[in-house]
Amino acid sequence: MQRIGVFVCWCGSNIAATVDVDRVVAEAKVQPNVVFAQDYQYMCSEAGQGIIRNAIAEHKLTGVVVCSCSPRMHENTFRKAAERAGLNPYMVEIANIREHCSWIHKDKEEGTEKACVLMRAAVAKVLLNSPLKAGESKVTKRALVIGGGIAGIQTALDIADAGFEVDIVEKRATIGGRMAQLDKTFPTLDCSACILTPKMVEAAANEKVKLYTYSEVESVGGFVGNFHVKIRKKARYVKDDICTGCGACMAKCPSKKGLNEFNMNLNNRPAIYIPFAQAIPNVAVIDPEQCVKLKTGKCGLCEKVCTAGAIDYTQKDEIIEEEYGAIVMATGFQPIDASKFDEYSYSTCPDVVTSLELERLMNAAGPTGGVLLKPSDKTHPKSITFIQCVGSRDVSGRGKCYCSKICCMYTAKHAMLIRDKYPDVEVHVFYIDVRTPGKNFDEFYRRAVEQYDVDYIKGQVGKVYEEDGHLVVQGVDLIANEQIILNTDMVVLATAIEPDPTARKVASMLTASIDTNDFITEAHPKLRPVESPTAGIFLSGVCQGPKDIPETVSQAGAAAAKVIGLLAKDKLLTNPCVSHSNELLCNGCSCCEKVCPYGAISYEDKLINDHGVRETRRVCVVNEALCQGCGACTVVCPSGAMDLKGFSNKQIMAEVDAICR
């Protein structure tokens, strides 16, 4: 006969304020087979776990029900406690009386009643539990990093440093990401390229790191420790092992009207191009939409001038298949489209630019060679106005509800750099709040105001328009409580940042959850910030939420540490709560195979002894290493042959019965 112990947690006042724990204990004591019940303030604490261990020993418990928080929080804690006392860990059930009960109810009477019901269901279920044993699976000691910006590069370098092989998949033709486009970095004003390009070179030179640039992840299969990934290496039309990056083709290409993405489309590039001088790999790529040869079959100039013979117009996309133990998402961000906010006239006035465009306009390698000129007439601006929070903290529904976090600091940087290089230029900044939490950040902002005389105006801008050959900014000064009409030569919009548009697609391939803004969700916002709830998937950089370079690099290192911790293991324990099929009931209909998202189900012809009748039947076989225990097959099986260990149909019906009793 089963001997069940019930343990009711107060969770401080989280549960005890809305649930009468004494009543839950009293009710538990009268449940069938329950031989022990007790409450405690914090069941997850060492003392609380001690109560459970002692009770298992003293009352010879065969099963345990803990009425506490979500199993996602502490199921593992209590399973381990039971195991230490000699009980099979899968003989522990959690009744979630916090997230499912006390947190969502206000009335104590209602809360208590529901807690009792949930407790009864868990007791009914545990009575049908059977001891399970976790299996083992191997770990492929190789990691994949998706995205080759500073986040991806740093993660890869740190993983490689621990001796593991790591591949970076980058959709653009070069690694470097957004940071490569920046001129200077706050709060130290060191040159972005000077600190990034050595890391790019290091990534290329490191024998443990393999770069797949101009490539995208095509599909992901498998599970933690054993991911199977297909990578699409897009056709460059240039053999990357032969190209020397001399640039002769770029000079000769007659089709020069392509928009230079690296310079935020502010100037043009030829159809065959190297994204920028320090690109890694330093290999040309042909834009097939623009190349005359690829579109019409006539031209071929680049092939003629290429002394290395690297041009190959017949190149096709290539699919590469690789095995990985862990995958890191580092897909980064893009600035939001400023033309959604046309009160600032971004789509009609060339002298209204975004902050990232300004980075290129200030950069020595940018379209103006680092001389700040108005895009409209290439003259020197006398006055520049910055508008903060364009699309951030937005209540109009056109932008993002969140603070993009980096804009206050980069705007202070821009303002300061402009005042330093061109002291004759007047600089105004319209802001809602100036947010500068970070080491040496507020000092940096104060320097812009006090040392560089940047005119900070608290208030928002209603309209930017062109009149009599210059721009007019119509805004409000909330401190002076007056309308401001400013004549200015250039307007810079501090546009919000949003996850790169590929993030959603990549996340769904990885079954990593995303939030309403398409940022990837952490397994726990405080305690597991670099892991996805999906085992083996880790997060690095802005794909998880807005952050600056120092924070990105720290998080990249943290993600690498988690990956290293995983890859250092030779074997992983697998979840024993997997499907299994009753061969006597299975009729080989293939329904379960069709719904299995993990490819864990196959069929074989087997000799079956059905009550003395021997015959060969086609029956289902579950690969327990691949099965993730989702239960889809158990629902779809028409003959009731499929069942899930730990969540059997019988157990679930017993829970329903207990709830309805």
Partner 1 sequence: MTYSYYPGCTLKTKAKDLDHYGRLCAEALGITLEEIEEWQCCGAVYPLAQDEIATRLSSVRTLMAARDKGQALVTLCSACHHVLTRVNNDMAGNDNIRTKANNYLQPAVPYAGETRVLHYLQMLKECVGFDELAKKVVNPLKGRKIGAYYGCMILRPAKEMAFDDPENPTIIEEFIKALGAEAVVYPMRNECCGGYVTVKDADLAKKRVAKIMHSAKDKGAEELITACPLCLYNLQANAGADAVPVTYITELLAEALGLK
Residues that bind partner 1 (CB under 8 A): 339, 341-343, 345, 347-348, 397, 463, 465-468
Nearer Cβ to partner 1 (342/593): 342
CB 64 within 8 A of CB 126: yes
Measure the CA dihedral 409/411/412/418, to 10°. 140
CA atoms within 13 A on the CB side of 554: 6
Q: Distance (Å, rounded) from C-alpha 503 to C-alpha 35?
A: 51
Residue 464, helix vs strand vs coil: strand
CB of 382 to partner 1, least distance (A): 20
Instruction: Choose between 340 and 393: whose C-beta lies nearer to partner 1.
Output: 340
In the complex, the smallest distance separating the C-beta of residue 503 from partner 1, rounded to whole angstroms, is 27
**How far, in Å, CA of 556 to CA of 160, rounded?**
13
Give whichever of 324 and 346 is closer to partner 1, judged by the CB atom.
346
Q: Are strands 383-390 and 426-431 parallel, antiparallel or unpaired?
A: parallel
- Rounded CA gap, 398 and 391, in Å? 7
Q: Which of 491, 474, 242 is nearest to 388 (CA)?
A: 491
Residue 241 or 468: the one with the smaller Cβ distance to partner 1 is 468
- Give the residue with the Cβ less far from partner 1, 424 or 468: 468
We find the least distance from the C-beta atom of residue 472 to partner 1, in angstroms, to be 8
- 10 Å Cβ neighbour count for 304? 12
Strand 383-390, strand 352-354: pairing: unpaired
Find out whether 381 and 416 touch, Cβ atoms under 8 Å.
no
| Nearest CB to partner 1, comparing residues 463 and 618 | 463
Check if the beta carbon of residue 134 is closer than 8 Å to that of residue 576. Answer: yes
Q: Which residues pair with 320 in a beta bridge?
A: 231
> CA-CA-CA-CA torsion for 507, 511, 516, 522, nearest 10 degrees?
-90
Provide the minimum distance between the beta carbon of 376 and partner 1 in the complex, in angstroms, as a whole number.
15
Give the shortest CB-261-to-partner 1 separation in angstroms: 25
> Could you give the CA distance from residue 11 to residue 19 in angstroms, rounded to a whole number?
11
Q: Which of 474/587 has CB closer to partner 1?
A: 474
Beta carbon of residue 344, minimum distance to partner 1 (angstroms, whole number): 8
- The smaller minimum CB distance to partner 1, of residues 180 and 491, is found at 491
CB of 191 vs partner 1, minimal distance in Å: 37
Min dist. Cβ of residue 333 to partner 1 (A): 25
CB of 396 to partner 1, least distance (A): 9
3-state DSSP assignment of residue 230: strand
CA angle 137, 142, 148 (to 5 degrees): 135
343 vs 455, beta carbon nearer partner 1: 343
- In three-state secondary structure terms, 10 is coil
- Least distance from C-beta 479 to partner 1, angstroms? 25
CB 532 within 8 A of CB 522: yes
Q: How far is the CB of 392 from partner 1 (least distance, A)?
A: 18
Q: Tell me, what amino acid is at 479?
A: I
- As given in the structure block, the two tokens for residue 115 are 């807690």
Output 329 or 490, the one with its CB closest to partner 1.
Answer: 490
Give the residue with the Cβ less far from partner 1, 213 or 345.
345
Q: To the nearest whole angstrom, how small is the minimum distance from the Cβ of residue 428 to partner 1?
A: 19
Instruction: Report helix angle 407-421 to 355-362, nearest 10.
Output: 30
Q: How far is residue 230's CA from residue 216's CA, in Å, rounded to a whole number?
A: 9
Closest distance to partner 1 from the beta carbon of 490 (Å)? 16
- The whole-angstrom separation of Cα 132 and Cα 317 is 46
Please name the residues in contact with 204: beta carbons below 8 A apart, sequence gap of 6 or more: 175, 211, 280, 281
Burial class, 133, CB count within 10 angstroms (exposed 0-12 / middle 13-18 / buried 19+) = exposed
User: For the chain, how far is it from start to end, CA to CA, in angstroms?
Assistant: 22
Residue 351: how many CA atoms within 13 Å on its side-chain side? 27
Dist. CA 429–CA 387, nearest whole Å = 6
* DSSP-based three-state secondary structure for 407: helix
Nearer to partner 1, 99 or 342 (CB): 342
Q: How far is it, in rounded angstroms, from Cα 496 to Cα 325?
A: 35
* Whole-angstrom distance, CA of residue 433 vs CA of residue 244: 49
Nearest approach, Cβ of residue 361 and partner 1 (Å): 23
Q: Which CB sits closer to partner 1, 7 or 430?
A: 430
Of 402 and 465, the one with the shorter C-beta distance to partner 1 is 465
